[in-house]
């Protein structure tokens, strides 16, 4: 798998010496898992059914951590290149979530990621 590299702090494509930087293999899989967490339901005009329903099912008045974990883990499992989730935890602070997880890729590599989702 080869992707264009995205700057994690700005969300912009990384350009060096006038060329778009690419990531591949496990780096691309990790970046794809992080992008999956940032993809909000109805956000993408080409497919409003894709994404995680943060506003309708996760960041609701009666927050349920187990339900949030189930929904987000399902999305991560569906990310390209993810074979299995080894560990997963969520911390909520208002409308911000921090997801920390370890996955096994389809290349049989273990990757640990921590992603802040701020809505």
pLDDT tens for the chain, residues 1 to 119: 788 998 878 888 999 999 999 989 999 999 999 999 999 999 989 998 999 999 999 999 899 999 999 999 999 999 999 999 999 999 999 889 999 999 999 999 999 999 999 88
Q: Give the whole-angstrom CA distance, residue 78 versus residue 83.
A: 9
Beta-bridge mates of residue 96: 93, 118
CATH of the domain at 90: 3.10.450.40
Domain membership of residue 114 (yes or no) is yes
* CA distances to 19, 25, 43, 74, 88 from 109, in Å: 29, 10, 31, 20, 16
What's this model's pTM, rounded to 2 decimal places?
Answer: 0.85
Domain membership of residue 74 (yes or no) is yes
The range of the structural domain enclosing residue 60 comes to 26-118
Domain membership of residue 61 (yes or no) is yes
Domain membership of residue 17 (yes or no) is no
């Amino acid at each position: 798998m080869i992707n264009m590299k995205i700057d994690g702090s700005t969300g912009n494509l990384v350009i060096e010496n006038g060329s778009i930087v690419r990531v591949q293999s496990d780096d691309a899989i990790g970046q794809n898992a992080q992008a999956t967490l940032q993809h909000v339901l109805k956000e993408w005009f080409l497919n409003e059914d894709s994404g995680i329903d943060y506003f309708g099912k996760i960041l609701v008045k009666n927050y349920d951590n187990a339900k949030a974990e189930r929904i987000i883990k399902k999305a991560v499992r569906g990310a390209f290149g993810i074979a299995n989730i080894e560990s997963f935890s969520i911390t909520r602070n208002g409308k911000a979530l921090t997801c920390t997880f370890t996955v096994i890729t389809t290349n049989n590599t273990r990757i640990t990621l921590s992603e802040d989702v701020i809505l």
